[in-house]
Protein backbone atom coordinates (compact mmCIF):
# COMPACT_ATOMS: atom_id res chain seq x y z
CA UNK A 1 0.00 0.00 0.00
CA UNK A 2 2.51 2.44 -1.27
CA UNK A 3 1.14 5.77 -2.48
CA UNK A 4 3.99 6.73 -4.76
CA UNK A 5 7.02 5.08 -6.29
CA UNK A 6 9.61 7.37 -7.83
CA UNK A 7 12.74 6.33 -9.70
CA UNK A 8 15.90 8.27 -10.40
CA UNK A 9 19.37 9.32 -9.33
CA UNK A 10 19.97 10.98 -6.00
CA UNK A 11 23.00 13.25 -5.98
CA UNK A 12 25.25 14.63 -3.31
CA UNK A 13 25.05 18.37 -3.80
CA UNK A 14 27.91 20.58 -2.64
CA UNK A 15 26.76 24.14 -2.27
CA UNK A 16 29.00 27.21 -2.20
CA UNK A 17 28.05 30.62 -0.90
CA UNK A 18 30.29 32.41 -3.43
CA UNK A 19 32.32 31.81 -6.62
CA UNK A 20 33.70 28.26 -6.72
CA UNK A 21 36.91 29.45 -8.38
CA UNK A 22 37.98 31.18 -5.17
CA UNK A 23 37.17 28.20 -2.94
CA UNK A 24 35.65 28.54 0.48
CA UNK A 25 33.30 26.33 2.45
CA UNK A 26 30.91 23.93 0.75
CA UNK A 27 27.91 22.40 2.48
CA UNK A 28 26.70 18.89 1.70
CA UNK A 29 23.07 18.19 0.81
CA UNK A 30 20.91 15.54 -0.79
CA UNK A 31 19.68 16.53 -4.27
CA UNK A 32 17.78 14.85 -7.06
CA UNK A 33 14.47 15.77 -8.58
CA UNK A 34 12.84 12.41 -7.80
CA UNK A 35 14.06 12.23 -4.20
CA UNK A 36 12.81 15.81 -3.77
CA UNK A 37 9.35 14.67 -4.86
CA UNK A 38 9.46 11.65 -2.54
CA UNK A 39 10.39 13.86 0.41
CA UNK A 40 7.66 16.37 -0.46
CA UNK A 41 5.05 13.61 -0.33
CA UNK A 42 6.46 11.94 2.78
CA UNK A 43 6.41 15.27 4.66
CA UNK A 44 2.68 15.46 3.91
CA UNK A 45 2.13 11.99 5.35
CA UNK A 46 1.94 9.95 2.14
CA UNK A 47 3.80 6.67 1.76
CA UNK A 48 6.50 7.40 -0.78
CA UNK A 49 9.30 5.13 -1.97
CA UNK A 50 12.42 6.15 -3.87
CA UNK A 51 14.32 3.62 -5.96
CA UNK A 52 17.72 4.04 -7.55
CA UNK A 53 21.33 2.94 -7.15
CA UNK A 54 23.62 4.50 -4.61
CA UNK A 55 27.33 4.01 -4.01
CA UNK A 56 28.45 1.53 -1.38
CA UNK A 57 30.41 4.09 0.64
CA UNK A 58 29.85 7.03 2.98
CA UNK A 59 28.20 9.12 0.28
CA UNK A 60 25.70 6.38 -0.49
CA UNK A 61 25.12 6.04 3.24
CA UNK A 62 24.49 9.80 3.43
CA UNK A 63 21.87 9.62 0.68
CA UNK A 64 20.05 6.74 2.38
CA UNK A 65 20.26 8.35 5.79
CA UNK A 66 18.70 11.59 4.52
CA UNK A 67 15.88 9.75 2.77
CA UNK A 68 15.14 7.56 5.79
CA UNK A 69 15.19 10.55 8.10
CA UNK A 70 12.49 12.07 5.93
CA UNK A 71 10.37 8.93 6.10
CA UNK A 72 10.95 7.85 2.49
CA UNK A 73 10.87 4.08 1.88
CA UNK A 74 14.28 2.97 0.57
CA UNK A 75 13.72 -0.80 0.68
CA UNK A 76 14.21 -1.15 -3.09
CA UNK A 77 17.48 0.81 -3.27
CA UNK A 78 20.53 -1.07 -4.56
CA UNK A 79 24.05 -0.36 -3.33
CA UNK A 80 26.53 -0.44 -6.23
CA UNK A 81 29.96 -1.66 -5.08
CA UNK A 82 31.77 -0.53 -8.26
CA UNK A 83 30.59 3.01 -8.92
CA UNK A 84 30.79 6.35 -7.09
CA UNK A 85 27.97 8.66 -6.06
CA UNK A 86 27.00 11.34 -8.53
CA UNK A 87 28.00 14.80 -7.36
CA UNK A 88 26.61 18.20 -8.16
CA UNK A 89 28.29 21.52 -7.37
CA UNK A 90 25.80 24.30 -6.89
CA UNK A 91 27.74 27.54 -7.15
CA UNK A 92 26.14 30.70 -5.87
CA UNK A 93 27.98 32.96 -8.32
CA UNK A 94 26.06 36.10 -7.32
CA UNK A 95 23.03 36.64 -5.11
CA UNK A 96 20.83 36.12 -8.19
CA UNK A 97 22.87 33.73 -10.33
CA UNK A 98 23.51 30.09 -9.44
CA UNK A 99 25.37 27.63 -11.63
CA UNK A 100 25.28 23.84 -11.61
CA UNK A 101 28.17 21.55 -12.49
CA UNK A 102 27.67 17.79 -12.51
CA UNK A 103 30.17 15.02 -11.79
CA UNK A 104 27.82 12.14 -12.48
CA UNK A 105 29.02 10.33 -15.65
CA UNK A 106 29.55 6.67 -14.75
CA UNK A 107 27.92 7.11 -11.34
CA UNK A 108 26.10 4.42 -9.39
CA UNK A 109 22.80 6.20 -10.09
CA UNK A 110 23.41 6.20 -13.84
CA UNK A 111 23.82 2.38 -13.82
CA UNK A 112 20.11 1.96 -13.03
CA UNK A 113 18.64 -0.93 -15.03
CA UNK A 114 15.34 -2.72 -15.60
CA UNK A 115 16.09 -5.41 -12.99
CA UNK A 116 16.36 -2.72 -10.29
CA UNK A 117 12.72 -1.79 -10.89
CA UNK A 118 10.94 -5.14 -11.23
CA UNK A 119 10.21 -5.80 -7.55
CA UNK A 120 9.36 -2.18 -6.59
CA UNK A 121 6.88 -1.87 -9.44
CA UNK A 122 5.38 -5.32 -8.83
CA UNK A 123 4.49 -4.11 -5.32
CA UNK A 124 1.77 -2.02 -6.99
CA UNK A 125 2.18 1.63 -5.98
CA UNK A 126 -0.83 3.93 -6.48
CA UNK A 127 1.27 6.26 -8.66
CA UNK A 128 4.57 6.10 -10.52
CA UNK A 129 6.62 9.28 -10.87
CA UNK A 130 9.51 9.73 -13.28
CA UNK A 131 11.44 12.66 -14.64
CA UNK A 132 13.10 13.28 -17.97
CA UNK A 133 16.43 13.32 -16.13
CA UNK A 134 16.59 9.55 -15.59
CA UNK A 135 16.44 8.47 -19.25
CA UNK A 136 19.25 10.95 -19.99
CA UNK A 137 21.69 9.22 -17.62
CA UNK A 138 22.71 6.14 -19.64
CA UNK A 139 21.35 3.57 -22.09
CA UNK A 140 20.42 1.20 -19.26
CA UNK A 141 18.67 4.00 -17.33
CA UNK A 142 16.74 4.96 -20.46
CA UNK A 143 15.67 1.34 -20.95
CA UNK A 144 14.67 1.16 -17.27
CA UNK A 145 12.59 4.33 -17.47
CA UNK A 146 10.90 3.17 -20.66
CA UNK A 147 10.18 -0.26 -19.20
CA UNK A 148 8.78 1.25 -16.01
CA UNK A 149 6.32 3.64 -17.67
CA UNK A 150 5.13 0.97 -20.10
CA UNK A 151 4.72 -1.66 -17.39
CA UNK A 152 2.95 0.77 -15.05
CA UNK A 153 0.57 1.93 -17.77
CA UNK A 154 -0.21 -1.67 -18.73
CA UNK A 155 -0.94 -2.49 -15.06
CA UNK A 156 -3.26 0.48 -14.64
CA UNK A 157 -0.83 2.46 -12.43
CA UNK A 158 -1.06 6.15 -13.40
CA UNK A 159 2.27 7.62 -14.47
CA UNK A 160 3.39 11.20 -13.83
CA UNK A 161 6.18 12.34 -16.16
CA UNK A 162 7.94 15.56 -15.18
CA UNK A 163 9.97 16.70 -18.20
CA UNK A 164 12.80 18.42 -16.25
CA UNK A 165 15.04 19.09 -19.25
CA UNK A 166 18.72 19.27 -18.23
CA UNK A 167 20.84 20.81 -20.99
CA UNK A 168 24.00 19.53 -19.28
CA UNK A 169 22.94 15.96 -19.99
CA UNK A 170 21.59 15.96 -23.55
CA UNK A 171 20.43 18.11 -26.46
CA UNK A 172 16.82 19.14 -26.99
CA UNK A 173 16.65 16.84 -30.05
CA UNK A 174 17.92 13.86 -28.05
CA UNK A 175 15.51 14.64 -25.25
CA UNK A 176 12.54 14.92 -27.63
CA UNK A 177 13.23 11.62 -29.34
CA UNK A 178 13.21 9.82 -25.97
CA UNK A 179 10.66 11.81 -23.99
CA UNK A 180 7.90 12.24 -26.58
CA UNK A 181 7.29 8.46 -26.76
CA UNK A 182 7.47 8.19 -22.93
CA UNK A 183 4.79 10.86 -22.59
CA UNK A 184 2.42 8.55 -24.47
CA UNK A 185 2.31 6.32 -21.38
CA UNK A 186 1.73 9.14 -18.89
CA UNK A 187 -1.54 10.25 -17.29
CA UNK A 188 -0.01 13.49 -16.06
CA UNK A 189 2.74 15.45 -17.83
CA UNK A 190 4.44 18.31 -15.97
CA UNK A 191 6.54 20.83 -17.91
CA UNK A 192 7.59 24.43 -17.88
CA UNK A 193 6.39 26.40 -20.90
CA UNK A 194 9.75 26.06 -22.66
CA UNK A 195 9.79 22.28 -22.19
CA UNK A 196 6.45 21.48 -23.83
CA UNK A 197 7.89 21.02 -27.30
CA UNK A 198 10.15 18.27 -25.90
CA UNK A 199 7.10 16.02 -25.54
CA UNK A 200 5.44 17.15 -28.79
CA UNK A 201 6.45 18.40 -32.23
CA UNK A 202 9.53 20.67 -32.42
CA UNK A 203 8.52 24.33 -31.96
CA UNK A 204 4.94 23.38 -31.02
CA UNK A 205 3.31 26.18 -29.00
CA UNK A 206 1.46 25.43 -25.76
CA UNK A 207 -1.92 24.74 -27.35
CA UNK A 208 -0.50 22.55 -30.10
CA UNK A 209 1.65 20.57 -27.64
CA UNK A 210 -1.26 20.11 -25.25
CA UNK A 211 -3.56 18.99 -28.06
CA UNK A 212 -0.92 16.42 -29.12
CA UNK A 213 -0.54 15.10 -25.59
CA UNK A 214 -4.27 14.86 -24.86
CA UNK A 215 -4.78 13.08 -28.18
CA UNK A 216 -2.04 10.64 -27.19
CA UNK A 217 -3.86 9.67 -23.99
CA UNK A 218 -2.45 12.09 -21.41
CA UNK A 219 -5.25 13.19 -19.04
CA UNK A 220 -3.69 16.30 -17.49
CA UNK A 221 -0.93 18.60 -18.74
CA UNK A 222 0.50 20.90 -16.08
CA UNK A 223 2.42 23.95 -17.24
CA UNK A 224 4.61 25.59 -14.59
CA UNK A 225 4.81 29.35 -15.01
CA UNK A 226 7.09 30.26 -12.10
CA UNK A 227 6.03 33.56 -10.55
CA UNK A 228 2.90 33.48 -12.76
CA UNK A 229 1.58 30.28 -11.18
CA UNK A 230 0.50 27.32 -13.26
CA UNK A 231 -2.02 26.12 -15.82
CA UNK A 232 -3.69 22.72 -16.01
CA UNK A 233 -5.05 21.48 -19.34
CA UNK A 234 -7.52 18.60 -19.50
CA UNK A 235 -10.15 17.48 -22.01
CA UNK A 236 -12.53 19.88 -20.16
CA UNK A 237 -10.40 22.96 -20.83
CA UNK A 238 -7.78 24.97 -19.02
CA UNK A 239 -7.53 26.27 -15.43
CA UNK A 240 -5.00 28.75 -14.08
CA UNK A 241 -3.88 29.31 -10.51
CA UNK A 242 -1.63 32.26 -9.62
CA UNK A 243 1.58 31.76 -7.67
CA UNK A 244 1.64 32.49 -3.96
CA UNK A 245 3.67 35.67 -3.46
CA UNK A 246 6.70 34.94 -1.26
CA UNK A 247 10.22 36.27 -0.97
CA UNK A 248 12.22 33.99 -3.25
CA UNK A 249 15.59 33.01 -1.80
CA UNK A 250 16.34 29.81 -3.78
CA UNK A 251 14.32 28.52 -6.73
CA UNK A 252 16.11 25.16 -7.06
CA UNK A 253 13.67 22.38 -6.28
CA UNK A 254 10.55 24.52 -6.81
CA UNK A 255 9.39 22.43 -9.75
CA UNK A 256 9.78 19.21 -7.77
CA UNK A 257 7.83 20.72 -4.88
CA UNK A 258 5.09 21.76 -7.32
CA UNK A 259 4.82 18.19 -8.61
CA UNK A 260 4.79 16.77 -5.07
CA UNK A 261 1.95 19.15 -4.14
CA UNK A 262 -0.08 18.20 -7.19
CA UNK A 263 0.37 14.46 -6.57
CA UNK A 264 -0.46 14.89 -2.88
CA UNK A 265 -3.73 16.56 -3.90
CA UNK A 266 -4.40 13.72 -6.33
CA UNK A 267 -3.83 11.13 -3.57
CA UNK A 268 -6.16 13.09 -1.26
CA UNK A 269 -8.88 13.14 -3.93
CA UNK A 270 -8.89 16.94 -4.35
CA UNK A 271 -10.40 18.47 -7.47
CA UNK A 272 -8.18 19.91 -10.18
CA UNK A 273 -8.06 23.49 -8.91
CA UNK A 274 -7.35 22.42 -5.33
CA UNK A 275 -4.59 20.11 -6.58
CA UNK A 276 -3.09 23.09 -8.43
CA UNK A 277 -3.42 25.24 -5.31
CA UNK A 278 -1.51 22.69 -3.26
CA UNK A 279 1.09 22.50 -6.04
CA UNK A 280 1.74 26.25 -6.10
CA UNK A 281 1.75 26.35 -2.29
CA UNK A 282 4.51 23.72 -2.16
CA UNK A 283 6.40 25.58 -4.89
CA UNK A 284 6.19 28.70 -2.74
CA UNK A 285 7.57 26.85 0.30
CA UNK A 286 10.47 25.62 -1.85
CA UNK A 287 11.45 29.04 -3.22
CA UNK A 288 11.02 30.75 0.16
CA UNK A 289 13.66 28.53 1.80
CA UNK A 290 17.24 27.49 1.06
CA UNK A 291 17.92 24.03 -0.32
CA UNK A 292 16.06 21.73 -2.73
CA UNK A 293 13.62 20.30 -0.18
CA UNK A 294 14.60 21.38 3.32
CA UNK A 295 11.86 24.03 3.52
CA UNK A 296 8.97 21.79 2.41
CA UNK A 297 5.98 21.72 4.76
CA UNK A 298 4.62 19.04 7.01
CA UNK A 299 0.86 18.67 6.68
CA UNK A 300 0.16 20.85 9.72
CA UNK A 301 2.26 23.61 8.14
CA UNK A 302 0.41 23.71 4.80
CA UNK A 303 -1.77 26.60 5.91
CA UNK A 304 1.30 28.79 6.60
CA UNK A 305 1.31 29.53 2.85
CA UNK A 306 -1.96 29.28 0.94
CA UNK A 307 -2.85 29.94 -2.66
CA UNK A 308 -5.39 32.54 -3.74
CA UNK A 309 -8.43 32.20 -5.99
CA UNK A 310 -8.24 30.34 -9.27
CA UNK A 311 -8.83 32.16 -12.55
Active site (catalytic) residues: 256
Footprint of ligand KDG on 139-178 (CB under 6 A): 166
Least CB distance to ligand KDG at residue 199 (A): 17
Closest CA to 38 of 63, 13, 12: 63
Footprint of ligand KDG on 214-253 (CB under 6 A): 252-253
**Given candidates 265, 272, 292, 307, which one binds ligand KDG under the rule CB under 6 A?**
292
Per-residue x/- mask for ligand KDG, residues 47 to 86, rule CB under 6 A? ----------------------------------------
Residues 6+ apart with CB under 8 A from 202: 173, 176
Contact between 128 and 147 (Cβ < 8 Å): no
Instruction: Tell me which stretch binds ligand KDG (CB under 6 A): 29-37, 39-47, 143-151, 205-213.
Output: 29-37
Could you give the CA distance from residue 241 to residue 231 in angstroms, rounded to a whole number?
Answer: 6
For ligand KDG (CB under 6 A), the number of binding residues is: 13
Contact between 179 and 135 (Cβ < 8 Å): yes
Q: What is the DSSP letter of 95?
A: S
**Given candidates 51, 190, 256, 283, which one binds ligand KDG under the rule CB under 6 A?**
256
Instruction: Specify the DSSP element, H or E, that contains 55.
Output: strand 53-55
Instruction: Specify the DSSP element, H or E, that contains 101.
Output: strand 98-103
Phi, psi of 106 (to 5 degrees): 75, 15
β-strand pairing of 78-80 with 53-55: parallel
Closest CA to 141 of 151, 132, 154, 153: 132
**Given candidates 59, 133, 260, 296, which one binds ligand KDG under the rule CB under 6 A?**
133
Instruction: Tell me which stretch binds ligand KDG (CB under 6 A): 26-34, 179-187, 202-210, 260-268.
Output: 26-34
DSSP result, 16-42: ESS-GGG---EEEEEE-HHHHHHHHHH
Least CB distance to ligand KDG at residue 33 (A): 4
Contact call for residue 260 and ligand KDG (CB under 6 A)? no
Could you give the CA distance from residue 108 to residue 2 in angstroms, rounded to a whole number?
Answer: 25
Beta pairing partners, 93:
none
Footprint of ligand KDG on 83-122 (CB under 6 A): 88
Least CB distance to ligand KDG at residue 55 (A): 16
Instruction: Tell me which stretch binds ligand KDG (CB under 6 A): 15-23, 30-38, 110-118, 121-129.
Output: 30-38
Least CB distance to ligand KDG at residue 221 (A): 19
Least CB distance to ligand KDG at residue 150 (A): 23
Supply the Cα-derived Rg of the chain in whole angstroms: 18
Q: Which residues would be at the binding site for ligand KDG (CB under 6 A)?
A: 11, 31-33, 36, 88, 133, 166, 252-253, 255-256, 292
Amino acid sequence: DLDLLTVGEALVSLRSSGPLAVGGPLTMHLAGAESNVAIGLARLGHRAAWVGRVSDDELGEFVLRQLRAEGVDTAGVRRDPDRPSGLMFLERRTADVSRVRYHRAGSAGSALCVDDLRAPLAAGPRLLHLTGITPALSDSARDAATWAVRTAAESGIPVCLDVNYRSGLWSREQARSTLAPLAGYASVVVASADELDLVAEPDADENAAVADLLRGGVRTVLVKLGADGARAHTADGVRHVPAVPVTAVDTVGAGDAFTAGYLSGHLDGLDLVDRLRRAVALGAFAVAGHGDWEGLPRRDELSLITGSAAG
